[in-house]
Amino acid sequence: QGEMSVLQVEKKIKTRVKSQMEKTQREYYLNEQMKAIQKELGDGEDGSNEIAELEAKIAETKLSKEAREKADAEIKKLKNMSPMSAEATVVRNYLDWMLSIPWGKKSRVKKDLSKAQSVLDDDHYGLEKVKERIVEYLAVQQRSSKLKGPIMCLVGPPGVGKTSLGKSVAKATGREFIRISLGGVRDESEIRGHRRTYIGSMPGKIIQALKKAKTTNPLILLDEIDKMGQDFRGDPASAMLEVLDPEQNSTFVDHYLEVEYDLSNVMFLTTSNSYNMPGPLLDRMEIIPLSGYTEDEKLEIAKQHLVTKQVKNHGLKEKEFKIEDSAILGIIRYYTREAGVRNLEREIAKVARKSLTKIIKKEADRVVVTEDNLDEFLGVRKHRYGLAEKEDQIGVVTGLAYTSVGGELLQIEALRLPGKGRMKTTGKLGDVMKESIDAASSYVRSISPKIGVKPPKFDTLDIHVHVPDGATPKDGPSAGLAMVTSIVSVLTQIPVRKDIAMTGEVSLRGNAMPIGGLKEKLLAALRGGITTVLIPQENEKDLPDIPDNVKEGLTIIPVNHVSEVLEHALVRTPEAIEWDQEAEDAAAAAALAAKSSGGDTATAH
């Protein structure tokens, strides 16, 4: 029995080995046949032809010394490998990447300054500072070949044309344009690439962009650089430090390529909505602030670019559709409130759509949009334009705020109530703003006799300061002067002039301190129909940057101290009173003594 089972097992093994040998022999035979056929066709044996091709490519490409050594070493490895192995595929991919990025290929940079200027002017209206900087760069490039690519950061509210400006700059300078969006990038290896040991690894976004551009001196636009996140996989903002430093980026090493690559000829343009990014990163870039557009600039942009673009996009003919300047102004004032022109473009598109529908339905042959019939196309007005307040009121002051979408008018309201001398603040205010209200109220208490208020009166009153809208978070110290004015107005019951707005931080001594975002604040004041704006004396230096039509439309008064603010803002000057604390104390003590002596006699009865 035992021998029988052993024989059965032997027989089983023999048949299995035989069938396997037959299979292997068959495959070997077919492979040999295939090789013979390929040889006859001249397709090379074992991919040696492919290796020869790669070698030829390496010889043609102007690789750096380090890259050439690396490429030769990889070719050597590839020769000793079976062409079908997984490792061979990795090496082949690596060599493909190495040879597909540009080495020493430059695009010819345009040097004609007037041409560049006209290209920039045709594409964008305004934005003088950026254009000036680009033309200066081109001028220097004519004289010096050693100039590294500039690294600029355009900071401004959404919709002012930062990204489209990148395209226009590339066109003006004759560089290839590549856009990399950094919004939401959380992984450091997106910038620097993954190591080759990982399956499916590839170089980072910068090297990929260069492969796409095919030249070593493109313009790379890094969009939304302030929106980069960070998590456990590393911090991409810190990886950007190497890319954006002209001293370091000439030896940029990608984890995948593992050889140095020179990025110093690349022109980097980054865009951002705020300065909210790490300090070292900000320090690497030349910051060019772009502020919102004025009403006149928006009108020009709409006439020169937006209307023609929308008419073309909607297939309207020139004779069929006309939108008058008054209608565009109406859209800017009553239907949009923004620093850029995105919503303006949407509203113009809406007008174009409705007009086209009318024409196709044969309701009209030609549509002319004027200020009077604008509401037929756009419906009810969305925003109020004009004075913030209808009449002079007690305790209501117009302050100026700066938000990410431009300037805003801020109403500051104060009330006095019978109470115990408490100060109450509402309106979702940040800590800095609450502290600025405290400083304002302390200052007002210290000067109370000068404004005609007796100090003991504070102990019988509560003051409540509110800043609408209740849901919008507000912070910052620049409403200090407005707070003081509001508190003084409510204590003295003197109304504040409705056509005056003010901005400025206040110190405990009542001095007006400088603030930021002046241009946006003045634009908001002009938009809101304010005629006079009070600004701190130290901000006078910013006035040359303000467009002339804004300065002509507003009376701008620089002030040094709160006393000057009160003179301008209150309808009449408060009358000072004589206040002698010692005399008051003595009088109070005498009154008390008289009362107690009177009380004694009463008890004796």
- Which residues lie below 8 Å from residue 134, measured CB to CB, with a gap of 6+? 116, 120, 169, 172, 173
User: Whose CA is closest to 273, among 290, 286, 261?
Assistant: 290
What is the number of H-type helices and E-type strands within the chain? Answer: 22, 18
CA distance 564 to 573: 11
Instruction: Report, in angstroms and rounded to the nearest whole number, the Rg of the chain calculated over CA atoms.
Output: 37
CA distance 456 to 468: 30
- Which residues lie below 8 Å from residue 99, measured CB to CB, with a gap of 6+? 54, 57, 58, 61, 71
Residue reference for tokens 């990148």: 166
* Residue 556, CA distances (Å) to 65, 458, 535, 543, 567 in order: 63, 34, 7, 9, 15
ω into residue 580 within 30 of 0, thus cis?
no
Interhelix angle 65-79/48-60, rounded to 10 degrees, is 170
User: Whose CA is closest to 566, among 443, 464, 455, 478?
Assistant: 443
CA distance 99 to 92: 11
User: Whose CA is closest to 64, among 257, 350, 213, 239?
Assistant: 257
Give the pair of three-digit tokens for residue 44.
């090379």
User: Whose CA is closest to 176, among 125, 124, 110?
Assistant: 110
424 close to 465: Cβ distance less than 8 angstroms: yes
CA distance 604 to 601: 5
492 close to 414: Cβ distance less than 8 angstroms: no
CA distance 206 to 234: 17
DSSP 368-393: EE-STTHHHHH-S--S--S-S-SS-B
Catalytic residues: 478, 521
Query: In a 3-state reduction of DSSP, which class is residue 404?
Result: coil
